[in-house]
Structure 1
Amino acid sequence: MMNQNNDNFTEQDGLNINADENVSGTEHLNDPIEETQLNALEAELNESKDKYLRLAAEFDNFRKRTAKERIELFQTAGKDIITDLLDVLDDVDRASKEVEESSDAHLKQGVSLIFNKLKNILQSKGLKAMEAKGVAFDPELHEAITEIPAPTEDLQGKIVDEISKGYYLNDKIIRHAKVVVGK
């Protein structure tokens, strides 16, 4: 008997749970959307998706580019100092060759120790000497000072002498080799 009274109570107050939704004022939700509105919404959605994909790709490219630039910056951070030290390295190399002709063993050993220490420190920072003598001339790597007649047939178009060494810093050229080319 209680159940019947509860059912009557809800029906009398207009709160029938099983009533159709359209009766409660939501009939506008079931109205068909016009075809033009649907097409416009789809076009707007596609445009938003395209903008999102382009923005995501652009951000990814930016992230990769800045990471690459950061790595390059760390690799070449001491480039200016190392470039300035190349002249000192050339002078030490010339001094080492002159000392080799000397008869003083202590002088040879001292200069050799200093030269090797300087060379090892610079190599640990990424400096690498360029091999040029006897190699084919490459204008991307070498700076031709002059051309001379090749002493032998196999040295034509190749480097006969090296005036000053070229150097790489972490596989990037920081100084081109100044060379004499055989013609």
Structure 2
Amino acid sequence: MRLTRGGKQNAKGAGQEMGGPDKEKLVPPAEGTAVPNGEETAVPKAAEPGPVTEEDRTRSEEGKSAGEGGQEETALAQEDGQRRPDESSLRSQLEAVQAELKSALDQAKEFEERAASLQAERDEWAEKAKIAYEQFLRARSDLDGFRKRTERDLEDRINRGKADLILALLEVLDNFDRALEAAQKTGSAQAEGVQGAYASADSSASGQALQSFIRGVQMIRRQFFETLAREGVEEIPSPVGKPMDPSLHDAVAAQEGGGEHGTVVAELRKGYLYKGMVLRPTRVKVIR
């Protein structure tokens, strides 16, 4: 049985109470042991253990508990010592991760602000581009309209200039028509006067010359009109025997009876169109 220091003292006290103080007893030497001068050697005898008290048991259990508690505390201290470096390392890692996360969040916030700024700038430039494009379209439309008006005005001026010139040339054409009409009447009269057995060679030669003149004038008149036709001039068809059209005809004379009212009975001067428009109306005589 394990005894504490107090237990030993108690045992000693118990021995004293039972037999007084321990005394050395003479024990005969062991066999083969030399004893000088034949004297007996005193060998101390171990004290015999006394009875175990309740107090001894309590102290023994307390010692055991203290020993076990010390071992447990030592194990906990060792475990705590092992755990603490791990917690410190984890805390350092956590702080590093938190710092990186904060830096990443700051960068993300900065990127968001930059993106918002760029988006606003893009929207602003898009609006400016839209306004500029609309202005360009209006300017181009105005330019196209101005060019068309200019071309139309120029064409109108050219056409008016041509029309004025053509009107003057139509007077020359009218003179050709009058000359042909007079020559044809003269030729007809001469032909009637020289008919019969009394026709002379001179009158025959004169008639041939007149016919040659008429053919020459007709050819010149035809070439002259063909030149005008290439510029867009065309004759208004003869309205004789048809109702008068106020947009094409100009009634300058009338006669009583002889047909339906408003019917054209004679063409007094030819009319002409220039590029589909009336350049000069036809002068006519109608039935009143």
Alignment partner, residue 95 of structure 1: 179
Distance in 1, Cα, partners of 2:150 & 2:258: 50
1:61 aligned partner, one-letter code? G
CA shift for structure 1 position 93: 0.4
Does residue 116 of structure 2 align to residue 30 of structure 1?
yes
Q: Tell me the TM-score normalized by structure 1.
A: 0.64
2:214 aligned partner, one-letter code? K
Distance in 1, Cα, partners of 2:162 & 2:277: 13
Q: Tell me the TM-score normalized by structure 2.
A: 0.44
Distance in 2, Cα, partners of 1:17 & 1:172: 83
Q: 1:33-52 maps to which residues of 2 (within 5 A)? A: none
CA shift for structure 1 position 148: 2.2
Distance in 2, Cα, partners of 1:92 & 1:129: 15
2:268 aligned partner, one-letter code? I
Is the contact made by 1:75 and 1:170 (CA closer than 8 Å) also made in structure 2?
Answer: no
CA displacement 1:83-116 (0-9 Å, x = unmatched):
1111111111011122223133222222222222
Alignment partner, residue 6 of structure 1: none
Is the contact made by 1:144 and 1:179 (CA closer than 8 Å) also made in structure 2?
Answer: yes
Q: Work out which of the residue numbers 171, 175, 179 in structure 1 matches 2:276.
A: 171
Q: Report the CA distance shift for 1:50/1:177 in structure 2 as closer, same or farther (over 3 A).
A: same
Is the contact made by 1:159 and 1:182 (CA closer than 8 Å) also made in structure 2?
Answer: yes
Q: Work out which of the residue numbers 151, 156, 162 in structure 1 matches 2:267.
A: 162
Higher RCO (CA 8 Å, separation ≥ 6 residues): 1
Q: 1:18-167 maps to which residues of 2 (within 5 A)? A: 20=107, 22-23=109-110, 27=113, 30=116, 53-73=137-157, 77-101=161-185, 102=187, 103=207, 104-134=210-240, 135-153=242-260, 156-167=261-272
Distance in 1, Cα, partners of 2:153 & 2:104: 66
Which of structures 1 and 2 has the bigger CA Rg?
Answer: 2
Is the contact made by 1:143 and 1:177 (CA closer than 8 Å) also made in structure 2?
Answer: yes
Q: Which has the higher strand share?
A: 1
Can you give the 5+ residue segments of structure 1 that lack an aligned partner in the other structure?
1-15, 32-37
CA shift for structure 1 position 76: 5.3
Distance in 1, Cα, partners of 2:226 & 2:110: 90
1:182 aligned partner, one-letter code? I
User: How many pairs does the alignment contain?
Assistant: 157
Distance in 2, Cα, partners of 1:170 & 1:142: 17
